[in-house]
Amino acid sequence: MQFREAQVTDIPQMMEIRNSVNENQLSDPSLISFDDYETFISNRGKGWISLEGELITGFAVVDLVEHNIWALFVRPGYEGKGIGTKLQQIMLSWYFMQTSHPVWLSTSPGTRAEKFYRKSGWQETGTYGKGEIRFERNSS
C-alpha cells in the first residue's frame, strides 16, 4: 500500500469512495461537488490517498479554515487493513505542524467510525448537526 498527497486528478476516485461507503452516507451525493474537493485539497487544507496499484483505497482531507477533518473514508472491501489509521496519522501529523489549534470532526453514533475515533484517542465534546457525535483532538 502506498500513501501520497491527493491531487486534483484523484478527485473522481475520491468521490466514488465517498459515495460508496456503507456508513455515514451522504443523503444527497450532489451536495459535495468536484469543486468542493478541489477547494479543500488545494486551498483550505490538504488531502492524502492510499493506493493499491492505480486504485485509490482510501482518502483523508483536513480543513485548516474550520479546523476539522473534512473526510476520512476507506473504500468498501478495504476496511480493517490499517488504511484509515495510517491516513489519520499522516493527516494529523501535517495538521499539527501547521497549527496548535485543536481539530474536530463529527460522525454518526453507533458506527465503526465512532469506535475508530474513540480507540484513536479522540475526545467526545458533544453533538453536531443532526445528532452526530462531535470529537476533538489536541496535538498532544
Set out the domains of the chain in order of their start, with CATH numbers: 2-99 (3.40.630.30)
So what's the pLDDT on residue 20?
82
Q: In sequence order, what are the beta bridge partners of 68?
A: 63, 104
pTM of the entire predicted model? 0.93
Cβ atoms of 66 and 21 closer than 8 Å: no
Instruction: Please check the confidence at residue 39 and state whether its pLDDT lies above 90.
Output: yes
Q: How far apart are CA 98 and CA 12, in angstroms?
A: 27
Q: Please state the rounded mean pLDDT for residues 95-106.
A: 97
When the pLDDT of each residue in the chain is averaged and rounded to a whole number, the result is 93
Cα gap 80→95, rounded to integer Å: 24
Q: Give the separation between CA 79 and CA 81, rounded to whole angstroms.
A: 6
Residue 127: is its pLDDT beyond 80? Answer: yes
Indicate whether 27 pLDDT > 80: no
Single-letter residue type at 133 = I
pLDDT the model gives residue 107: 93
Instruction: Provide the pLDDT for residue 102.
Output: 97
The pLDDT of residue 30 = 75
Cα torsion through 99, 104, 26, 85, rounded to 10: 80
| Residue 92 near residue 103 (C-beta atoms within 8 A) | yes
pLDDT of 21: 79
The answer on pLDDT for 49 being more than 90 is yes
Question: Is residue 29's pLDDT more than 80?
Answer: no
Whether 63 has a pLDDT exceeding 70, the answer reads yes
Q: Which residue, 4, 70, 13, 19, is CA-closest to 43?
A: 70
User: Mean pLDDT: which of 17-21, 102-106, 110-114 is highest?
Assistant: 102-106
